[in-house]
């Protein structure tokens, strides 16, 4: 019998890669297979250092702006977060061969914003300033026709040109509960504001938050595997904290663990943000198994079967 203390690990399901992240990584990998390195990628393809480093090792070259890319016939991939309209325009003006890895659910928000603008509405975007998805969505419309709202307090300060001619859209990776509060404030102040036909927060963000809500109240500590610049991962940590988990930490790798956070822990919840690969979850379970007699349980709150096609250029080549 083991002398190690017992630890029950509750794995949230769903966790980790979503369909949009899976598609984006596939696009880079297929481009590398088909065209060979280098394949240039504008911004981190997804917000995960492990994923980015593994693609770098295969020949992907990451840049923040197209201006960093020399004159080349090599493919250029736009990240899953989406880009402002100016980026494909610049790529076209330089005759670049580009592949758009924007998540289809982000593209849906872009189309909604464009449609509202076309119909003469001022657009409100609920999101976090500076996040690449927000930069991309705001960059779909002329300056001054879309306004960013980050908090309920922002709603009170917002002064639209025409309060009777507004519509809202949102970043796809927000806290479901926080966004609901902002939408309530918007509709209370602007009763005629037009809402999306279907919630803009993506299915994966919602499902991962619901799984955390099911696990976090029943464990001594919660680990969210993800990057500090990953919006959906940060929201998972906040959700765990909000539902009463005493310790809620966001880490990228097992090597980031601060063992003092887990003194006396007998039950542990683990989830992973939508851009964190499962191998990082397995790595963390393995290091706990060196210190504890571990029992692993999976707590599933939803099934996910969604998959997105890669761009036609890569499908055609793959078929050949």
133 counts as catalytic: yes
Domains of the chain: 6-17+203-300 (3.40.1010.20), 19-103 (3.40.50.11270), 105-189 (3.40.1010.20)
Secondary structure E strands in 120-209:
122-126, 146-149, 166-170
Which of the 8 DSSP states describes residue 194? B
Q: Tens digits of per-residue pLDDT, 167-198?
A: 999 999 999 999 999 999 999 999 999 999 88
Give the bridge partners for 222, in sequence order: 248, 269
Q: Tens digits of per-residue pLDDT, 64-79?
A: 999 999 999 999 999 9
* 112, 122, 133, 238: the active-site residue: 133
Q: What global pTM score does this model have?
A: 0.93
- Contact yes or no for 137/114 (Cβ under 8 A): no
Q: Rounded to an integer, what distance in angstroms lies between the CA atom of residue 140 and that of residue 146?
A: 9
**Quick one: how far is CA 20 from the chain centroid?**
9
Structure token pair of residue 36? 């060979």
- Contact yes or no for 168/136 (Cβ under 8 A): no
Which of the 8 DSSP states describes residue 191? T
Give the bridge partners for 41, in sequence order: 62, 77
What is residue 199's predicted lDDT score, i.e. its pLDDT? Answer: 82
Low-confidence ranges of the chain (pLDDT < 50): 318-320
Secondary structure class of 167 (helix, strand, coil): strand
């Amino acid at each position: 019998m083991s002398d190690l203390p017992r630890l029950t690990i509750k794995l949230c399901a769903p966790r980790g890669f979503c369909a949009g992240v899976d598609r984006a990584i596939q696009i880079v990998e297929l481009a590398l297979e088909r065209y060979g390195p280098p394949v240039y990628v504008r911004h981190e393809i997804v917000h995960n250092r492990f994923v980015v480093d593994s693609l770098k090792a295969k020949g992907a070259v990451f840049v923040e702006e197209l201006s960093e890319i020399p004159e080349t016939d090599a493919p250029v991939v736009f990240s899953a977060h989406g880009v402002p309209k100016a980026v494909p325009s610049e790529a076209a003006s330089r005759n670049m061969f580009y592949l758009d890895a924007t998540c289809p659910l982000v593209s849906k928000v872009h189309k909604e914003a464009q449609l509202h603008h076309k119909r003469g509405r001022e657009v409100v975007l609920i999101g976090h300033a500076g996040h690449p998805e927000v930069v991309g969505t705001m960059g779909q419309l002329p300056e001054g026709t879309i306004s960013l709202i980050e908090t309920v307090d922002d709603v009170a300060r917002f002064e639209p040109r025409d309060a009777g001619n507004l519509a809202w859209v949102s970043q796809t990776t927000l806290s479901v509960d926080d966004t609901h509060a902002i939408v309530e404030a918007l509709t209370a102040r602007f009763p005629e504001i037009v809402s999306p036909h279907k919630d803009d927060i993506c299915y994966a963000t919602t499902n991962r938050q619901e799984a955390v809500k099911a696990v976090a109240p029943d464990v001594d500590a919660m680990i969210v595997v993800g990057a500090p610049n990953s919006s959906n991962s940060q929201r998972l940590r906040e959700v765990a904290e909000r539902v009463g988990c005493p310790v809620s930490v966001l880490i990228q790798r097992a090597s980031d663990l601060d063992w003092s956070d887990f003194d006396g822990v007998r039950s542990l919840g683990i989830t992973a943000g939508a851009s964190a690969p499962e191998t990082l979850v397995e790595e963390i379970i393995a290091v706990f198994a060196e210190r504890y007699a571990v029992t692993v349980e999976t707590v599933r709150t939803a099934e996910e079967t969604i998959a997105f096609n890669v761009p036609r250029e890569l499908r055609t080549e793959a078929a050949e």
